[in-house]
Structure 1
Amino acid sequence: MRADAFLRAAEALPVRDLRAIVPAGGIVVVAPHPDDESLGCGGLIAEACRLGIPVRLVVVSDGVGSHPNSPSHPPGRLRALREAETLAAAARLGLAGEHVTFLRLPDRFVPDSGPAAEAAAELVAAAARACGAGALFVTWAHDPHCDHRASAAIAGRARDRLGGIRLHAYPVWGWTLPPETEVGGPPRGARLDAARHRAAKAAAIAAHRSQTTDLIADDPAGFRLEPAMIARFTERHEIFLEVAP
């Protein structure tokens, strides 16, 4: 199925409440980079916190690839900033910092196999065990970013360790795929109505100031989320695709 048709169909998936998507247990959100959790799952995290459902957030990469040439923010300082931004974003969504884990794998070089990937999968599985998770949420395997694809592979390995747990994918950069890209069969899954959490989600995204403003202005190649991208992720619904075993 072409990406354009797939994504149109994903935008028409049935709207379900959180407990229809995850019937029992807690939730683990796996974010390739600091900010992916707010973009793709901000409403999910906020709704789970509202309902008292245990949530764990696992951030896979160190995020230092966003501004690789900044003199003012060398890798160590940039990593600390992006982690602080993530904790601030989590707080906006109602998630305590103690439930956030940073794996600090190298941005742009997250492995999808081998010992480091296996170790990451075990840490994701440990987070799931800690909250009695009924489901994992990770970026879509067709997202056109190597770290997003690798994180999807890591989450799949974590599911293999847990047995029987559900795995859902959320598109982030998938929305930028060339329309003719083949992505497999039609989507299965659901949309979550995140309208009651739109303000909190927008505040969480804005907490990632290094990604949404000119906070770091000394790297001509530095990354910044475009307003249109932010607008897409502050719409009413979040999309969660079922990932078959």
Structure 2
Amino acid sequence: MIKRILRDLTHCLRQLYPLEIHCHAHAPLKNGALTRTAAMNFSPLDLNKAHGISTEMLKNWGRTLAVAPHPGDEALGCGGTLALLSQLQVETAVLWVSDGAASHPNSLTYAAPKLANLREAEGKAALEKLGVGRKNSYFLRLPDGKIPFPNEAGFDQAVAGAQSVLEAFQPQTLLLPWRRDSHRDQRASWQLLSRAAQDLEIQSFEYLLWAFERAEPQDWPQNSEASAFTLDVSEVKTRKLAAIQSHASQTTHLIKDDPAGFWFSPEFVAQFDNSHEAWIAPFCSIPEVSGRSRERSET
């Protein structure tokens, strides 16, 4: 599937976007949110050619905080990595940004407050499957589908909440959603955590989620702006899949009175049932958010 996506992207990009990107030396996250550039030379990263790193290298990450815009994102996007970190006894935690309560807006049996509680419980159950443990869970409980962007109401308050988590956990590594992923909450979460951590010496890597299905050509990671690496998660894949299934409200028809509600289709989940997880390591000034107006209803 990745090869097909990249082939289609390359075809479109060569015809439509004869642009260039201006890079500088690697900028740590402490320098703040990386700024939008006026132009870009499109050459999509080929994840099939990404170099693999050994599991032992994860020990160098130190205390690691994974950021998930919604409960379930942590298991899908980086569940294998979290399981490996736990296996290596690297202190690991997850911060969920939104409450996930918008997935079934028409349900009477699971109105928003009850659904939010359920999704928190599912997140904690997923962490147990991954070996992380329930105690290493943090929740900002921002409105699902409405995580604020900079200059929107509530952004500064949300940043303060994220900074409290960073102060409490003291991570050395942040695992963030890809900054231009296809869901608006993924993009807003990246903005939020980047602002919260802008004065800290923290390394960060980014994971793709919705981009695998429907990234706009300009939103896929480019060779000129980042490198990619993969982790072999085959030995913990069973734990990852169990963690995904812990989110029963999203993987089954547990909530029966909102047939139009959102859930992860088997086809979608199957995209993450593989032996490797890919990570993006940005190294230059790149666009943060493209096409912010493209709202997504998925939660």
Match of 2:125, SS state, is: helix
Q: Which residue is equivalent to 1:174?
A: 211
Alpha-carbon RMSD: 2.3
Aligned-partner residue type, residue 88 of structure 1: A
5+ residue gaps, structure 2, are: 1-5, 11-42, 286-299
Measured at CA, do residues 22 and 147 of structure 1 come closer, stay the same or move farther in structure 2, by a change above 3 Å? farther
Alpha-carbon distance between aligned partners in 2 of 1:74 and 1:17, rounded to the nearest angstrom: 45
Q: Which residue is equivalent to 1:158?
A: 196
The 5 A counterparts of 1:8-19 are: 9-18=46-55
Aligned-partner residue type, residue 137 of structure 1: L
* 8 Å contact kept, 2:181–2:219: no
- Aligned-residue offset at 1:22: 6.8
5+ residue gaps, structure 1, are: none
**Which among 207, 217, 236 is matched to residue 197 of structure 1?**
236
**Which among 246, 254, 257 is matched to residue 215 of structure 1?**
254
Which structure is higher in helix share? Answer: 1
Q: For 1:122-173, what per-residue CA distance to the aligned partner results, in whole angstroms no more than 9, with x for missing partners? A: 44444444444221111112211111110011121133031x3112110000
Alpha-carbon distance between aligned partners in 2 of 1:81 and 1:59, rounded to the nearest angstrom: 14
Q: Which residue is equivalent to 2:245?
A: 206
Which shifted more, 75-84 or 139-148? 139-148
Q: For 1:32-59, what per-residue CA distance to the aligned partner results, in whole angstroms no more than 9, with x for missing partners? A: 0000000011011111111111111100
* 8 Å contact kept, 1:25–1:131: no
- Aligned-residue offset at 1:185: 2.8
Measured at CA, do residues 211 and 189 of structure 1 come closer, stay the same or move farther in structure 2, by a change above 3 Å? same
Q: For 1:174-196, what per-residue CA distance to the aligned partner results, in whole angstroms no more than 9, with x for missing partners? A: 11225644546314131111111
Q: Which residue is equivalent to 2:187?
A: 149
The 5 A counterparts of 1:67-86 are: 67-86=104-123
What TM-score do the two structures reach when normalised by structure 1? 0.90
What TM-score do the two structures reach when normalised by structure 2? 0.75
Q: Which residue is equivalent to 2:140?
A: 103
Q: Which residue is equivalent to 1:25?
A: 62
* 8 Å contact kept, 1:2–1:183: no
Greater radius of gyration (CA): 2
* 8 Å contact kept, 1:3–1:179: no
Aligned length: 244
Match of 1:107, SS state, is: coil
The 5 A counterparts of 1:45-124 are: 45-114=82-151, 116-124=154-162
Q: Which residue is equivalent to 1:188?
A: 227
**Which among 275, 279, 292 is matched to residue 236 of structure 1?**
275
Which shifted more, 132-141 or 180-189? 180-189
Calculate percent identity across the aligned residue pairs.
34
Measured at CA, do residues 190 and 178 of structure 1 come closer, stay the same or move farther in structure 2, by a change above 3 Å? closer
Match of 1:64, SS state, is: coil
Alpha-carbon distance between aligned partners in 1 of 2:74 and 2:118, rounded to the nearest angstrom: 16
